[in-house]
Structure 1
Amino acid sequence: MSEAARQARFDDGGPLDAHGLRAAEAAAGTLRPAGRVLVSPSPRCRQTAEALGLPAPVDEPALAGCDAGRWRGRTLDEVAAAEPEALARWLADSTAAPHGGEPLRALLDRVADWLTALPEDTPAVTAVVEPDTVRAAAVHALGAPPAAFWRLDVRPLTATHLSGRSGRWNLGCGRPL
């Protein structure tokens, strides 16, 4: 949890807040690391991985959260008041990027491409990532349409488990750490 998340703001790239750090430290040891430990390249994800006691996390750019462009740090209400048409377009069209950042479709494709590129013999991976990255992975695993992204809630410090392989994923969601 970060200050931006607590205030329901578009990600601002900030670190964990004190409460989030304490919660991650309290969950240390509850997540058994896999052969490889990857993190979204954000301070918050790196801090979470370290607080959980995961060994040698490696930044994976493909697992970054969605770039909200000029909406970074603003609340949904602020954006809705200032740019209602742009917000409506962004929510309805996965290819739209009225904020100047990354369209949802690009996030979905980036995460799907990363999952698809994993070789069959890839050892298990533990990835500490942003909630929107988890949602993108779930949409891909289920073969769901892009609009399903908006219907998935991902709580902080929960584990989502993908098993199987490209073309046939199984999804386990929301196990608390």
Structure 2
Amino acid sequence: MPTTVWLVSHAANAALRSGTFPRAPVAGDDAEEALDTRALEALAAWCERWHARLERGERNGEALRVLTSPAAIARASARAAGFTAATPGDALADTAFGAWQGKRIADLAHEAPEALVAWTRDPAFRPPGGESFDDVRARVSAWLDAIPDSEPDVVAFTHASVMRAAILHALGAPSSGFRSIEIAPLSVTALRRTQHGWAWLAAVD
């Protein structure tokens, strides 16, 4: 059976709910501190729905490869979801937001409205010192295409931008389509390798 990659968006924390751009991961971050009560409750419900299915995989019990973004919230989400042996990978990192790190979207709407609009519409736009969606798509696409045919199924806790990039890569669709893909916290997206590349699968219970 061909390799399936299950991408899971991390739980929502207070920063995400307030519309604040995340800061870059720092070595030694306490992953567990990234989760608040609401996030833990959401993860408990997610586990009831998804953990057994993903842990079992689709290859007759073959061990999964479990990965996370380097971000504390992604690592904490993986652990709380029962995947305690996950390995961080730079390809799964969130967009680098440069000078926008730690800023609220509402504040940027007043400080730099034209730049904020460009960020929501133009996949080539980079925040000062940061990455564009095209940059994220390039590294995510390279990571997917480097996964060998013999690779075990993969579960990866990551970010909405990474999941949008993976979906568009599988579809061979233009990056401008990122505006039309909504990824909720703890969403699950599946991609399967085929002889023609990657196929996007509808993830169902």
TM-score where L is the length of structure 1: 0.88
Shift of 1:112: 0.5
Q: Does 1:136 align with 2:165?
A: yes
2:71 aligned with 1:52, yes or no?
A: no
Assess if the C-alpha contact under 8 Å between 1:118 and 1:166 holds in 2. no
Alignment check: 8 A CA contact 2:168 2:174 kept: yes
What whole-Å deviation, never above 9, does each CA across 1:44-99 have from its counterpart, x for those lacking one?
11111111111410001111010111112223232121112222333343233233
Instruction: Name the counterpart of 1:20.
Output: 39
Which residue of structure 2 aligns with residue 161 of structure 1? 190
1:8 pairs with 2:19: yes
**Structure 1 unaligned runs (5+)?**
none
Q: Compared with structure 1, are the counterparts of its residues 140 and 10 closer, same or farther at alpha carbon in structure 2 (3 Å cutoff)?
A: same
Query: Who is 1:95 aligned against?
Result: 124
Task: Give ranges in structure 2 of 5+ residues lacking alignment.
Answer: 1-11, 25-32, 58-63
Larger relative CO (CA 8 A, sep 6+): 1 or 2? 2
C-alpha root-mean-square deviation of aligned residues, in Å? 2.1
The count of corresponding residues between Structure 1 and Structure 2 is 176
Residue pair 2:99, 2:127 contacting (<8 A) in 1 also: no
Contact 1:158–1:175 (8 Å) recurs in 2: no
Runs of 4+ residues deviating >6 angstroms = none
Tell me, yes or no, if the aligned pair for 1:159 and 1:173 is still in contact at 8 Å: no
Length-normalised TM-score, structure 2: 0.77
Question: Which residue matches 2:148?
Answer: 119
Helix, strand or coil at the partner of 1:38: strand
Whether the aligned pair in 2 keeps the contact of 1:41 and 1:59 (CA below 8 Å) is yes
Alpha-carbon distance between aligned partners in 1 of 2:38 and 2:88, rounded to the nearest angstrom? 24
Distance 2:195 2:114 in 1: 37
